[in-house]
A and B are shown apart, each in its own frame.
Chain A
Amino acid sequence: MEFIQQVINGLAQGGIYSLIAIGWTTVYGVVGVMNWTHGEVYMLGAFCGFFLFTRLHLPFLAGLLISMVAGSLIAMAIDQFGYKPLRKIGMPRMAGFITALGLSTLLRYSSTALFTPDPQAYPANLLSYKLLTLFHINGKAITVSSLHLMIFLGTLVIMAALELFIRKTLTGKAMLAASQDMSTLELMGANPEKLIKITFAISGALGAAAGVFVGTIYAINTMMGSLAGLKGWSVAILGGVGNMTGSMLGGLLLGIAESLTAGFVSTGYKDAIGFIIMILVLLVKPTGLKGYSAEEKV
């Protein structure tokens, strides 16, 4: 019973990990850069939500959507000033990576200077918090809080919308094709820079959404992007880099695993479990759960 309860507890956090991981994996797939600033976009999204909710007293949905737009703009700006100049000179792999690390550090610490390192909390009445009984097993109630339920559903809606965009629109299909072979896609008349911008916009929106969702559960601070970014990347690897479905599954799996670890082992090991799983999966299946056979991007 406890097991099922913990699984349910882990789903909301898992959905958030999925969102972060998809943001990682789409950019890596299309642009070929390990975008370490992604954790920072997530953090900035959370802070954007914080100001919208505490200063402007916006309702949750409005704040979420505006933060997502802000996340898109931030991610596009990061690309414009950080990666695009490198692409013009052929994007040396290591240079892209170092730029990403540098930008991430810059954003993290300038945010700390700007917002102070103190933890901040979203207004308590932002989303209703009621304990809902889902069902009974052997007379014991399995419950979920309305907050966690809404967050989990929210992440699912966003992922479904993205999936629809990728599968049904020509631009989405082009993004998928770009992650397989950008130079051939150019031969179809597609402008790579345009697709890259769209990819960063989507990635930023997902990262910011994840940040806002987290803010409704936990206090936020300017260092939060570091661990979340790392976990997002390991989920992306766990799911198979470049594969969205893999990232979705991987995120949920990590959320559940963390919840189980916290419930049955110790909360102290919670943050380690994701990396342990990642290492084990990579030992058995180096391409990740839903990965494609290794094809080095050139």
Chain B
Amino acid sequence: MLEVNDLHVYYGNIHALKGLSLHVAEGEIVSLIGANGAGKTTLLTAIMNQVPRAQGSVSFLGRPTAGMTTPMIVRSGMTMVPEGRRIFPRCSVLDNLLLGAYARKDKKSVRRDLEDIFTSYPRLAERRRQIAGTLSGGEQQMLSISRALMSRPRLMLLDEPSMGLSPIIVEQVFATIKTINEGGTTVLLVEQNANQALRVSHRGYVMETGEVVLEDSSANLMQNAQVKEAYLGS
């Protein structure tokens, strides 16, 4: 579904991605783990064409995305839940969700998806008229993920969805990701919380300073001595 090949990205003189390659197949949850500064966020923003790619290719659903703008990529069925949630703090919860469906024309099914989200996350339904900036961190993360769902993506990229959340909420967020995947959405999950990420995902990549250094099934990665030592804290 998603193919990244030999991707290079520079920030000025910093070589942030050094020929990174990975792939995500339909129906998978793939996690990408790595320390702060490994280039995980850079990779996602480069896939969404929000930062210029210096070299290499990205293709989605078999079509190269070079030359597509971010909105075009979103319209083709891929979306991203950005790092730090990035909800629109001065818009209502409802408006945040409606904006998630901005590119969709089918008003009726947008309504239906909205109702589905409110049924699945009653907290958001209760607070639909509330200004989104007043939600708790966990609620904001749920809103951010739900907003991304409103574009009906076939592939969802998530950037550090567990960041800054309490352990109980983190559990909920990962459970939600699993549910979303079971509903037919493919997921590429970027996380520092390697333990949780590997537990929900099928396969995983380990990233260090702009490169993939390990790639395996999540079950194997969790048993890998190197990964245990560096990322699982055991």
Contacts and interface: CB of A to CB of B under 8 A. Distances in A.
Question: Do A and B belong to a common assembly?
Answer: yes
Interface residues of B, number: 27
A187 B80 contact: yes
A176 B69 CA distance: 22
Interface string B73-108: 011000110100010111100011011111110000
B162 to A, nearest CB: 19
5 closest pairs, A vs B, by CB? A189-B103, A189-B74, A188-B102, A186-B70, A184-B86
B203 interface: no
Contacts of B80: 187
B69 A188 contact: no
A111 interface: no
Interface of B: 48, 50, 69-71, 74-75, 79-80, 82, 86, 88-91, 95-96, 98-104, 147-148, 151
A190 B90 contact: no
Contacts of B75: 189
B205 to A, nearest CB: 22
Contact of A173 (B79, B86, B98, B148): B98
B82 A177 contact: no
A21 interface: no
16 contacts: A170-B99, A176-B90, A180-B91, A181-B88, A184-B82, A184-B86, A186-B50, A187-B82, A188-B79, A188-B102, A188-B147, A188-B151, A189-B102, A190-B71, A190-B102, A191-B69
Contacts of B96: 177
B86 A181 contact: yes
Interface in A265-298: 292
Contacts of A170: 98-99, 102
B99 A185 contact: yes
Contacts of A292: 90
A170 B95 CA distance: 8
A177 B151 contact: no
B230 to A, nearest CB: 31
A108 B147 CA distance: 45
Contacts of B70: 186-187
Contacts of B102: 170, 174, 185, 188-190
A186 B71 contact: yes
A183 interface: yes
A177 B91 contact: yes
Contacts of A173: 91, 95, 98-99
Contacts of A192: 71
Interface of A: 170, 173-174, 176-177, 180-181, 183-192, 292
Contact of A189 (B82, B90, B95, B151): B151
Nearest to A188: B102
A64 to B, nearest CB: 31
Contacts of B148: 187
A181 B229 CA distance: 39
A180 B101 CA distance: 18
A192 B69 CA distance: 10
B50 A184 contact: no
A170 B97 CA distance: 11
Given A170-B99, A177-B88, A292-B90, 8 more contacts: A170-B102, A180-B89, A181-B88, A185-B99, A187-B74, A189-B103, A190-B102, A192-B71
Residue in A173, A177, A187 with the greatest tally of chain B CB atoms within 10 Å: A187
B190 to A, nearest CB: 15
A30 to B, nearest CB: 13
A109 to B, nearest CB: 38
B126 to A, nearest CB: 21
Nearest to A295: B89
Contacts of A184: 82, 86, 88
Nearest to B88: A177
B94 to A, nearest CB: 10
Contacts of A177: 88, 91, 95-96, 99
Contacts of B71: 186, 189-192
B114 to A, nearest CB: 13
Given A170-B99, A173-B95, A187 B90 contact: no
Contacts of B79: 187-188
B129 to A, nearest CB: 12
Given A173-B95, A183-B50, A188 B100 contact: yes
A176 B102 CA distance: 13
Nearest to B157: A187
Contacts of B88: 176-177, 180-181, 184-185
